[in-house]
Structure 1
Amino acid sequence: MTRLSSSAINAAIIAGCFIALVGFGMVAAFGVFLRPMSEALGWSREVFSLSIAVQLLCWGLTQPFAGIVADRRGTGRVLAFGALMAALGFWIRGVTESPEVFVASGVIVGIGTGASSFPVVIVALGKIVAPERRPFVMGLGTAAASTGMLLGAPLSVGLMSVFGWQAAILIIAASFLLILPAVIFIARVSAPTASASSGGVGDAVRMAFSDRSYVLLFFGFFVCGFHVAFIQTHLPAYLQDEGLGVAIGGISLALLGLFNIVGSFGAGWSGQHLSSKNVLAGIYAGRAVVITAFILLPISFASVVIFSSVMGLLWLATVPLTTGLVAKTQGLRFLSTLAGLVFLSHQTGSFVGAWLGGRLYDATGSYDAMWWTAIALGLLATLLHLPIRETPGPLARAES
């Protein structure tokens, strides 16, 4: 690979952080539209939840293919395509009043976010920096995505209050076009790492799934997706059900984003100095404890602030650690592909968390079953991460 100048690398890191901020921020904050849209259009909550669930699943299904293209063709084309698809999907959401079309729009948005979201960006950045810098740079990209969530939630609420929910969604659609100029700086440094002519993707995937550590990362990340999608989709509505105002839902998502900036930087630091698998196990155990306390104690503005702040520290801190472990155990040649497959597991969990939350609420009038499921899965993920090996596996050794 041609040696890259430090200025080109730094410009790509800045551009990548901007893409992560825009590409994830409004998507993660979209849950603030659940109750206003459902009430205005006369939909059950399952309609909105199913659209988000389809979006998250298609995001996950797109991720491995986006990774394959990025490994073989570079990341720039992938990001540009994703930005255009996401813009189209959100435009459809802003103009349709059909529940069927709204649900189907999740396919387009999912493909778009799968190709333009921060997992694609942080893997690209991780390939161009030295191994010792990789966890920090991946944490930096994740923190940028969290900043987007911090800004996206109150901005979405503000846009709704001024322009109404339909115009607010159209503004979100237009924001994805801001990604296109930044893609240029990523494209300059994102060289292919896998030859299209030599193949090997199938063999790499088989070797990875023969490695117990990769399999444990794959299934453990399902739990992260379940937690994140359920909370960011249903927490604002849950708080309104408990008698708190709509603005509190936006504040809760903003606090998740704010404190996840700290959590993501902390994860990047810990990946350089501590055992990544042990930190991951601690994150999942911490989530279980925080959720338990939140649902057992009386709901108030103070409890929401505390819950959102502490959960924010644990929110996407899993991403740089998990991606870093994939790189450490499986190597760099097929990193976009293999990280994409792990993220598919994450998004499968996201599908279940987003959809099942709405389904169970419509059936029972309560989110209680979902909260307790989230606790049980957090404890399971804790146990899954403890046996992970942090040394190169067969695939990484073959690469070297």
Structure 2
Amino acid sequence: MSSSSSTPIPAGSGRAAIPAILIVIAGCAVALITFGPRSVFGLFLLPMSQEFGWGRDVFGFSVAIQNLLWGVGSPFAGAVADRFGTVRVMCVGALVYAAGLVLMAYATTPGLLHLSAGVLVGFGLSAASFNLVLAAFGKILPNEWKSIGFGAATAAGSFGQFLFPPLTRGLMDSIGWHETLIVFGVSMLLVMPFSLALATRGAAQRQTTGPAHAPQQGIGAAIGEALRHPSYVLLVLGFFTCGFQLAFITVHMPAFLVDNGMSLTVGAYTLALIGLFNIFGSLTAGYLTNRMSRKWLLAWIYAGRGVAIALFVLTPITQLSCYMFGAAMGFLWLSTVPPTSSLVMLMFGTRYMAMLYGFAFFSHQVGGFLGVWLGGKLYVATGSYNWVWWLSVALSFASAAINLPIKERPVERAPLPA
């Protein structure tokens, strides 16, 4: 593989070829920049709610909208990227994401919060986050780099989650939460130059990785084929749990710890530990994706999450238990992404990978919507997060079982007429 690091990879017609290692670095930079700010939204829940007199359900609903629209927009952003290339989609997404963060700094009403943190950030993420990075990697990286690229991009997003919680706390303490959001909005513009290395030309650039005759298939046929494929449906359903747990913990974990006598700083460091250990978990999952059954890897990841959450809820909440949970959950946090994206590519090839992974990600984000929204609603109704914690445990083992019947092979297609 060392020789491949300098092998030119065609990134588009009329451009100089870009080495694989530079493509991976650029994609990792995009993943880090876009995932970092949205991973610390939970740190803004208490200061915004206290300043404007909102219940936790108001902030929770805004982030729930964000998760849902991130999922709704992903298949469409993926389809546009598949057709017209990645760069334009990412640049528009970065501008929308930046506008959402800046407007959130001035959101003094629930409606403005829903528009900024919910609608704009959600749609911005759908067009400028690691789902498009993974699809671009699938198209333009050589085969021996694909799984490593998937793991590296996921790990880079995790490093953003490790870097941004302490950075956010420091900025909030020094310049205030309003100004912190503005800084994050401006930083989102860095996505635009990095996206140039991920250029794909959509319809003009085809790879034949995957089932035969993929290049002749239309978008409608690709969607219909995927939705009729039982293994793809099971994969999509299992991914729901990942989104439910990630969104709930990201947004409500800091407040949950404050309720249990911890400081908001402990919440920030717990989120940072999740991001730190997710780097190792994501890289490990990327390494194992081509070396063991992907469905069994997913089953073990989901079951491990169920065990980690149950132990955390059943033991007394201390600073040590928070950090141990952050480390354990972090190792399993986004480790589902490399085997999930790899299975999509294995089943259907790379031509419509951005769109088909986008549909799987939509399921993930529907889970995220419910995780954040139920967290806020049930807390207001019961004064506790216990119901959502135990629902997360049940979903973990359900997803572990759902992934086991998946068949790990390309979809069978009849030859298309010449």
TM above 0.5, yes or no, is yes
What is the one-letter code of the residue matched to 1:307? Answer: F
Correspondences of 1:28-39 after superposition (within 5 Å): 28-39=39-50
Correspondences of 1:222-233 after superposition (within 5 Å): 222-233=240-251
Residues 231 and 140 (structure 1), Cα distance of their counterparts in 2 relative to 1, 3 Å cut: same
Give, in whole Å, the separation in 2 of the partners of 1:76 and 1:370. Answer: 39
Q: Does residue 161 of the first structure (1) align with residue 173 of the second (2)? A: yes
Q: After superposition, give the CA deviation of every residue in 1:235-289 in whole Å (9 maximum; x if it has no partner).
A: 0100000000110010011000000000000010001211111010000000000
Match of residue 153 from structure 2? 141
Match of residue 338 from structure 1? 356
Residues 40 and 265 (structure 1), Cα distance of their counterparts in 2 relative to 1, 3 Å cut: same
Q: Does residue 66 of the first structure (1) align with residue 72 of the second (2)? A: no
Aligned to 1:85, what secondary structure does the other structure show?
A: helix
TM normalised by structure 1 equals: 0.95
CA contact (8 A) 1:159 1:165 kept: yes
Match of residue 341 from structure 2? 323
Residues 389 and 396 (structure 1), Cα distance of their counterparts in 2 relative to 1, 3 Å cut: farther
Query: Post-superposition shift, 1:133?
Result: 2.7
Q: After superposition, give the CA deviation of every residue in 1:326-361 in whole Å (9 maximum; x if it has no partner).
A: 000111111111001100010010000011100100
Query: Post-superposition shift, 1:135?
Result: 1.5
Query: Post-superposition shift, 1:8?
Result: 3.5
Query: Post-superposition shift, 1:293?
Result: 0.3
Q: Does residue 119 of the first structure (1) align with residue 131 of the second (2)? A: yes
Q: After superposition, give the CA deviation of every residue in 1:178-218 in whole Å (9 maximum; x if it has no partner).
A: 1111122222xx22147999771111111111111100011
What is the one-letter code of the residue matched to 1:336? Answer: A
What is the one-letter code of the residue matched to 2:341? Answer: T
Match of residue 277 from structure 1? 295
Aligned to 2:202, what secondary structure does the other structure show?
A: coil
Give, in whole Å, the separation in 2 of the partners of 1:41 and 1:130. Answer: 51
Correspondences of 1:243-392 after superposition (within 5 Å): 243-392=261-410
Match of residue 87 from structure 1? 98
Query: Post-superposition shift, 1:394?
Result: 2.8
What is the one-letter code of the residue matched to 2:101? Answer: F
Q: After superposition, give the CA deviation of every residue in 1:340-384 in whole Å (9 maximum; x if it has no partner).
A: 110001001000001110010011000000000000000100000
TM normalised by structure 2 equals: 0.91
Aligned to 1:133, what secondary structure does the other structure show?
A: helix
Query: Post-superposition shift, 1:96?
Result: 1.9
Q: After superposition, give the CA deviation of every residue in 1:112-133 in whole Å (9 maximum; x if it has no partner).
A: 0110011111110122123343
Q: After superposition, give the CA deviation of every residue in 1:130-178 in whole Å (9 maximum; x if it has no partner).
A: 3343211101000001011111111111111111111111111111011
Give, in whole Å, the separation in 2 of the partners of 1:255 and 1:129. Answer: 30
Give, in whole Å, the separation in 1 of the partners of 2:409 and 2:142. Answer: 17
Match of residue 13 from structure 1? 24
Match of residue 108 from structure 1? 120
Q: Does residue 204 of the first structure (1) align with residue 222 of the second (2)? A: yes
Match of residue 213 from structure 1? 231
Match of residue 191 from structure 1? 201
CA contact (8 A) 1:330 1:396 kept: no
Q: After superposition, give the CA deviation of every residue in 1:64-88 in whole Å (9 maximum; x if it has no partner).
A: 0011011111111111010000000
Q: Does residue 75 of the first structure (1) align with residue 86 of the second (2)? A: yes
Q: After superposition, give the CA deviation of every residue in 1:289-319 in whole Å (9 maximum; x if it has no partner).
A: 0000000000001100110000000000001
Identical counterparts, % of pairs? 44
- After TM superposition, the structure 1 stretch with the greater mean CA deviation from structure 2, 327-336 or 285-294, is 327-336
Give, in whole Å, the separation in 2 of the partners of 1:96 and 1:291. Answer: 34
CA contact (8 A) 1:22 1:148 kept: yes
Give the aligned CA root-mean-square deviation in angstroms: 2.0
Q: Does residue 152 of the first structure (1) align with residue 164 of the second (2)? A: yes
Q: Does residue 242 of the first structure (1) align with residue 260 of the second (2)? A: yes
What is the one-letter code of the residue matched to 2:43? Answer: V
Matched positions, count: 396
Q: Does residue 45 of the first structure (1) align with residue 51 of the second (2)? A: no
